[in-house]
Structure 1
Amino acid sequence: MATIAEFHVSAEDTALAESFERCPDLTCELERVVESAWPGVWLAGADDDEIAAALEADPTVEEFERVSGDDDRTLYELEFAEAVCSVVEMVLDEGGTLVSAKAANGRWAVRMRFRDREQLRTAYERLREHGVDVEIGHLSELTDSSWEEIGLTAQQYDSLVAAIRRGYFEIPRKVSMQELAEELEISHQALSERLRRAYGTLARAELDMPFELEPEADGEGSGEVAADRVEND
C-alpha cells in the first residue's frame, strides 16, 4: 500500500546550510517536481542581494539564476552540488517520489511517496547509513481520500464541512461568514484564514502541486523510534 512520509532533515546534512547561516530568516520552497539539475526554488526572508551573496558562498550550490520575483519571494533555479544530488538520488533509487519540499530555520521538511513501507524503511536506513540525521514525521497511507491525506488540518476540515452543510458556498449564501464563525465559536478572521488555507490545500491537491508542509514539533520520530514507526504505524 502506497505511503506518504514526511522526512525532516537538517540543512547541514543536505543543502543550503551556509545560506541559512548568512540569512537566518530565509525560507525555501520547491516550485515543482522535475527531473532536472536546476530545480526551481522559491526563496524569501532576505533581499535579492543578500540571497545572491548567500548562494554564491554556499558550497552546496554550484550555480544559480534568478528567474522572477515579487515583493514577498523570489524564484531561483539552483544547480546543487553532487553531494546534495547523491542524497536525493539515494531516496529516488529506493522507489521514493518527491511530492514537496520546503525549509526554514536551517531544516528541511520533505514529503515523499513510496509504494510500500518496505521501500520507505530501506530509504530511511540508507540515509542514516550515509550520515544523514533524518527524522520521520507524519505517515499516511494512500487509501480512500481523507482530509488528513490531502493535507487539511482537523479544524480546516470541520470548518469546510460546516460551511457546506450551512450553505455558505451556495448562491445566494444561506449563512454569512460571521454567522458561521459564531456557530463554530471562533472569530470571523480565524474562520476566514482557516477556509483560505483549506482552499489552497485543496487546490494544490487537485492540481497536483506541492503541498504545504509543517515540520513536526519536538523531533518526534527520530532514531530507532522512527524506524519502529516506519514498520508498525
Structure 2
Amino acid sequence: MSTIADLRLPAADTALAIAFERAPAATFELESSVSKTRPSLWADGVDRETADAAFAADPSVEAAELLVETDSRLLYDVTFSERSGTDRLWDDLLADGGSLLEARATDGWWQVTVRYRDRDALCDAYDQLVERGVNADLRRVTDVTDVDDHETRLTPEQQEALEAALEYGYFEIPRSISMEELAAELGISHQALSERFRRAYETLVDAELQPAGEESRLD
C-alpha cells in the first residue's frame, strides 16, 4: 500500500512570492528538468515581458531562461537562489522515496501532489517541512491499495501514459524526461498527454482511491 497526499504550501515560505506580487494572474507549473540540473516551469496567464520582470524581481530566483514560447504559455529553465532553500524543500517533500506527481503555483500558493510508500513516510516529510517553518496545509491523504485488489477505472490511454511516465523517470526529481519528450515517445501531443495525466490523477484520487463519502486525513 502507498499513500498519495495533496499539500498546499505558501509561496512566502517556499519560492516565487515576489513573482506573484508582480504577476498576480500567473500560474506556474513544474514541468521537468530539461537541462537535467534545473527545474523547468510553465507560466500561464502572463506575457513574456511581465514574466521576465517577475522572475528578475524575485529573490528566490537566480536566473530564468526562456526555452519555449507558445500562444498561451511560456516555459522557463529556472535556477533558484541557494538562500531560497528550494532544493531543500524538494528534499524534505520527497524524503524517503516520495514521488512528485504534480506541482502548480497560483495566487501565491503551491499545490503539490506527492506519492509516498506509506503514511509513515508522509508524516516524516510533513514533520520536516514544519520544522523548517513551512506552513504546510495537508489537504487530503489517500491510501492506495494494490491494483490486484480491484478493477482499475483508468482508461487504457491513461494507464499507458502513467506506466510510460514511471518507466522513463518523469516522476523523478530532477525528471529524466520532459513532458514534450514523453509525449513524443507515446506519439501524442503535449496537450493530449497533459490531459491524460490530469484525468488519470482525478480518477485515481477521487474515484478509485477515495472511499465514497469519506476523506482521509492524518490521525
The answer to whether TM tops 0.5 is yes
The separation in 1 between residues aligned to 2:114 and 2:158, in whole angstroms, is 17
CA contact (8 A) 2:34 2:77 kept: no
- Secondary structure, counterpart of 1:122 in structure 2: helix
Deviates more, 1:34-43 or 1:57-66: 34-43
Q: Which position in structure 1 is the counterpart of 2:122?
A: 120
Q: Which residue of 1 aligns with 2:211?
A: none
Contact 2:4 2:143 in 1 (8 A): yes
Q: Is the 8 A contact 2:61 2:81 kept in 1?
A: yes
Unaligned regions of 5+ residues in structure 2, if any?
Answer: 172-196, 203-215
- Give the conservation status (yes or no) of the 8 Å contact 1:3–1:115: yes
- CA 1:136/1:68 → structure 2, altered by over 3 Å: closer, same or farther? same
Q: Contact 1:33/1:98 (CA < 8 Å) preserved in 2?
A: no
Q: Which residue of 2 is the match for residue 49 of structure 1?
A: 49
123 and 115 in structure 1: CA distance in 2 versus 1, 3 angstrom threshold: same
Q: Deviations over 1:171-228 (max 9, x none)?
A: xxxxxxxxxxxxxxxxxxxxxxxxxxx99966753543674479xxxxxxxxxxxxx9
Give yes or no for contact 1:33–1:99 (8 Å, CA) kept in 2: no
Pick the aligned partner of 2:162 from 205, 209, 231: 205
State the alpha-carbon separation in 2 of the partners of residues 139 and 119 from structure 1. Answer: 12
Q: Which moved more, 1:82-91 or 1:62-71?
A: 82-91
| Long gaps (5+) in structure 1 | 151-156, 161-197, 215-227
- Code of the aligned partner of 1:95: G
Deviates more, 1:65-74 or 1:37-46: 37-46
Tell me the TM-score normalised to structure 2 length.
Answer: 0.67
- Tell me if the contact between 2:95 and 2:124 (Cα under 8 Å) persists in the aligned partners: no
Q: For the residues of structure 2 that align with 1:200 and 1:16, how far apart are their CA atoms?
A: 34
**What CA distance in whole angstroms lies between the structure 1 residues aligned with 2:217 and 2:47?**
40
Contact 2:27 2:43 in 1 (8 A): yes
Determine the C-alpha separation between the residues in 1 that align with 2:15 and 2:161: 25
Structure possessing the higher radius of gyration over alpha carbons: 1
Q: Report the equivalent of 1:20.
A: 20
TM-score normalised according to structure 1 size: 0.64
Quote the offset at 1:229 in angstroms: 2.4
Cα deviation per residue 1:140-181 (whole Å; 9 max; x = unaligned)? 2222459xxx9xxxxxx7xx9xxxxxxxxxxxxxxxxxxxxx
8 Å contact 1:8–1:109 — kept in the other structure? yes
State the distance in 1 between where 2:94 and 2:34 align.
13
Structure 1 residue 35, shift from structure 2 partner: 9.4
Residue number in structure 2 paired with 1:229 = 217
Shift of the 113–44 alpha-carbon distance from structure 1 to 2, 3 Å rule, reads same
- Once the 2 structures are TM-superposed, how far is the Cα of residue 28 of structure 1 from its aligned partner? 0.9
Q: Is the 8 A contact 1:33 1:100 kept in 2?
A: no
- Aligned-partner SS, 2:126: helix
1:44 alignment partner AA: D
Whole-Å separation in 1 of the counterparts to 2:114 and 2:162: 14
Instruction: Mark the CA change 1:145 to 1:104 in structure 2 (over 3 Å): closer, same or farther.
Output: farther
